[in-house]
Amino acid sequence: MHFFCEQCKKEYPVATHSFQCECGGLFRLYQSAMDAKDVHDKVTLGEMPTPLLPRMMDGRRFYFKMEDRQPTGSFKDR
């Protein structure tokens, strides 16, 4: 796992005490999918797919994504 700059693609160790590259670009975190030893190594809050609620408005079909079903406590639906 390491950081890389979005602009110049230079790599930095995760222990870097900076949020920005020398060129001014922002860091991204790179972690290979092969780094995970087991599915249980990942931290989760128990997220799951949320239901889509179909509704008709002005003769058009809309789908509302019910995000309030997530364990994060979100009250904003899409």
Contact present, 71 and 45 (Cβ < 8 Å): yes
Give the mean model confidence (pLDDT) for residues 38-65. Answer: 82
pTM: 0.36
Check: CB of residue 3 under 8 Å from CB of residue 31: no
Task: Show me where the domains of the chain are located.
Answer: 2-35, 48-78
Per-residue pLDDT of 13-50, as tens digits, reads: 877 777 788 888 887 776 655 555 665 666 777 777 88
* Residue 58 scores a pLDDT above 90: yes
Phi, psi of 14 (to 5 degrees): -60, -30
